[in-house]
Amino acid sequence: MHIDVGPGKGNDKTFGNKIADTFKEKDLFLRDLGYFSLKDFKDLDERKASYVSRLKPNVAVYLENEDVEYYKNGEIKKSSMYKRIDLADIAKNMIEGEILELKEVFIGRLEKRKERLVIYKLTHEQLKERKLKVKKSAKKKGIKKSENTIKLLGITMYITNTDSSVIPNN
């Protein structure tokens, strides 16, 4: 529906916000990292539209905690409702080219959004290419990539609000 080509320095997220009102039920929104916005995903959910997006490596991913803690008055300790998962540990146990799907994860620091997470472990050649690209980009921008981002270079992660019967993970 929407394709926009502009300068590489332009803010993709701004464009994503501009077109959000045009999406309706059963539309599919494909987003890359420049468009990553939890607010936009919530808006798309409310419109009953679907999305697939790459997941930024700095976004925390949680599972529901089965060992929830309670206060003396019987209320749930909100801090115990979810447990953070270590995506780098998951990546270590995957073989190159493998696809892993977690059907129910939660993302977001404050408001937890339920998502389907698909993780792809890069092949040796893909990883080598990505490392060169990241190193070149970081040098050009004069930045240093975080330790977590470096650990996660070997995987590509996607989130979606669609069921695997609609969009399979392969």
* Structure tokens, 122: 């890069």
Distance CA 112, CA 73 (A): 24
Q: What is the pLDDT of residues 76-124, one digit of tens each?
A: 998 899 999 999 999 999 999 999 999 999 998 888 999 999 999 999 9
CB 92 within 8 A of CB 77: no
pLDDT digit string (tens) for 3-61? Answer: 666 666 665 556 556 666 677 888 888 877 666 788 888 888 999 999 999 998 889 99
Are 85 and 105 in contact by the 8 Å Cβ rule? The answer is yes
- Three-state helix/strand/coil letters over 125-169: HHHHHHHHHHHHHHHHHCCCCCHHHHHCCCEEEEEECCCCCCCCC
Report d(CA 149, CA 84) in Å as an integer: 16
pLDDT per position as a tens digit, 123-161: 999 999 999 999 998 999 999 888 888 899 999 999 999
Q: What does pTM read for this prediction?
A: 0.83
Please tell me the predicted confidence (pLDDT) of residue 72.
Answer: 94
pLDDT at 11: 58
What integer pLDDT is reported at residue 33 of this predicted model?
Answer: 62
Distance CA 25, CA 78 (A): 33
